[in-house]
Amino acid sequence: MPTLVVVRHAKAETPLGLQDIARPLSERGRADAEEAGRWLAATIDRPDLVLTSPARRTEETTARLLQSWGKAAAVVDEERIYEASLGDLLRIVRGLDTARPDAVVVLVGHNPGLSDLVSSLSGRMVQLRTTGIAVLDVSGEWADADSTSCALRLEHTPRAGE
């Protein structure tokens, strides 16, 4: 059974004059992303594919996640994730074509799209906070992913030092 791991980027800084796409992680965000990677290492076996928004904060979150997770995976910058609507994200998920029937795909991006995606696929209202993680089991094919074929297995918001 495939697994979709949805991760909202960690807490970012908001420096004056910097474009949104270029915002870096804050100190807390860096620590939370590392904690998220440790939680994932204890919870999920291995990622096969990581899709990340090209925004700096999501790329930094992804790098720290994988460093702490201790697992190698193919990482793809997916431009459609940045400022994605629910429809955009559903097209990305339904367009996945993984060789392994038990593939683990990680999607790192932004709200409100990610919370809408998890809510739509699970049939439950989910609001991901920064560094929030939702793990969904997908029965069947990626192309058929919807609320009748996906189940929310876990929801977690790692916080370093807590």
**The pLDDT of residue 137:** 96
Local confidence band at 118 (pLDDT 50, 70, 90 cut-offs): very high
Q: What mean pLDDT value characterizes the chain?
A: 94
Alpha carbon distance 89, 86 (integer Å): 5
In a domain, 138, yes or no: yes
Domain harbouring 125, CATH code:
3.40.50.1240
Total domains in the fold of the chain = 1
Model pLDDT for residues 33-47, shown as the tens digit of each residue: 999 999 999 999 889
For residue 61, is it within any domain?
yes
Q: What is the pLDDT of residue 78?
A: 96
pLDDT band at 162 (very low <50, low <70, confident <90, very high): low
38-94 pLDDT, tens digit each: 999 999 988 999 999 999 999 999 999 999 888 778 899 999 999 999 999 999 999
Residue 162 maps to a domain: no
User: In 9-114, at which residue ranges do the beta strands (DSSP E only) sit?
Assistant: 49-52, 74-77, 104-109
Please state the pTM of the whole predicted model. 0.96
CA atoms within 13 A on the CB side of 153: 15
Question: What average pLDDT does the segment 10-29 reach?
Answer: 95
Domain containing 115: what range? 3-156
Sheet holding 133-138, edge to edge: 74-77, 49-52, 104-109, 3-8, 133-138, 150-156
Q: How far is the C-alpha of 10 from the C-alpha of 7, rounded, in Å?
A: 9
